[in-house]
Amino acid sequence: MADILSVGIDIGTSTTQLVFSRITMENTAGYFSVPRVSILDKEVVYKSRVYTTPLITPARIDGEAVGKIVAAEFQAAGYAPRDVDTGAVIITGESARKENAAAVLEQLSGFAGEFVVSTAGPDLESVIAGKGSGAFQYSVDHNCAVVNLDIGGGTTNMVLFDRGDTVSKGCLDIGGRLIRVDRELRVEHVSPAAAAVAAAVNVRLQAGRRSTLAELRCVTDKMADLLAQALCCKPREGLLGTVRTPESSWLDLQGRRVSRICFSGGVADCIWRADGDPVPYGDIGVLLGRSIAGSGLLQAIPAIRGRETIRATVVGAGTYTTGISGSTIAYARELLPMRDLPALKLTAGEQARCISGEGAFLAEKLRWFLDQSGADNLVLALPGESDPTYGEVAALARCLAGTLDRVLPAGAPVLVVLEQDIAKALGGQIEAALKGRRQVICIDGVKVEQGDYVDLGKPVLDGMVIPVVVKTLLFG
């Protein structure tokens, strides 16, 4: 049995938070069986305070101030960066569109040890928040389809889980900080998306102009209606298309009957808050929560409150981003850890062409991908075969070894990930074909999509498995 420490750092539109989690792994196979390592437990061991995300200007995050927050919370938790084995630093919501988002992530990466995810992107955030909220586990435990809406300061991240499968994702620019007001309801900030919603309901919102609760409620009622439209698959042109988050997908129920809707994010706490100050945070978060509570959304689908609400994303980042490779793997230990490796995915048909010895198309695709990504190396991702013959494995190895050896820069290792458990056999054949010219890492039990990036951690459990994080690097 082995434990690894994971950190999640979430820099959101409204808040910045950290969590530390302990992930327990064990070889669950019998003594005389092929090792099969499983994650047995994921326990959150420390939650930070919830901080307001520090900004220099509306377009720039205060990276130095964020760094001080992270350093202080590491100290409060009793950990040093060297103690961390894996984790995620993510910039979410509107913060992902700040002009210095990538620089801030790079600045913070040192806090998470040698192996960390630095990532942002609405679709990935949807999945992370849905797992952190408990919606994913609810879909598993109750054998049903669950939609999670993570409503933060700048965006609403949506994901559909069906019995543990991630079916669809989406994101809209709907959130509690898109309109900010002072105590007299004088408008201090209106985002472009909020301005479009206000215009659609004939409400005039302008910085410096005093609004009314009735006007603001009219806008939040329309936002709630747009969320219902997004879930009910109504036509997606017009205003709904206007508030769709750039680079995000459309949530598609694919004909499934949704049993429950789960709410997380800061606004989720306001859905069940019926009284009190309507603008306690100087924004529309409470009003938006009340609009959702009174909308047709809750009448159409029974609601559950997230196990985590405002902390859902950061808990998901620290606890659910890390997986492990299969146990039948081949790798050069001295290469690890490795970070931010772009993944080129082959289809089953393209893999079949490689088995048949067609290397020319693969060489062309590899050169194009390296040129487009500007990277020095890549991870070649294949589906693998469930029950391949020795001849098929050997033929695939010869094609991959020969083609990668011709295309990759001198000295670059060959990196291959597969879904099926054939990495040890394939990796050994690739090493034999290369005759020591390059080092090889070949691991299985890993599924990636085109455009994903891969982090490979230091081996654990006496070298039987490698922690793996598959992520999307995206800045709007």
Q: Can you give the pLDDT at residue 35?
A: 42
- Domains assigned to the chain: 2-120 (3.30.420.40), 125-314 (3.30.420), 325-471 (3.50.30)
- If residue 394 lies in a helix (H) or strand (E), which one and from where to where? helix 390-407
| Cβ proximity of 42 and 319 under 8 Å | yes
282-306 average pLDDT score: 90
| pTM beyond cutoff 0.85 | no
Q: pLDDT tens for residues 309-365?
A: 877 776 666 554 555 444 445 667 788 788 778 889 898 899 999 999 999 999 999
Q: pLDDT tens for residues 5-38?
A: 888 888 887 889 898 888 776 655 444 333 444 5
Sheet with 467-471, side-by-side order of all strands:
323-324, 467-471, 453-456, 338-345, 379-382, 414-418, 440-443
Number of other residues whose CB lies within 10 A of the CB of residue 387: 7
State the Cα–Cα distance between residues 34 and 178, nearest whole angstrom. Answer: 54
Q: pLDDT tens for residues 41-64?
A: 678 889 999 898 898 887 788 988
443-448 average pLDDT score: 82
β strands within 295-388, DSSP E: 303-305, 323-324, 338-345, 379-382
Does 88 score more than 80 pLDDT?
Answer: no
Q: pLDDT tens for residues 90-128?
A: 787 677 777 787 778 777 867 765 555 565 567 777 888
Sheet with 260-264, side-by-side order of all strands:
165-172, 156-162, 145-151, 260-264, 303-305
State the Cα–Cα distance between residues 424 and 435, nearest whole angstrom. Answer: 17
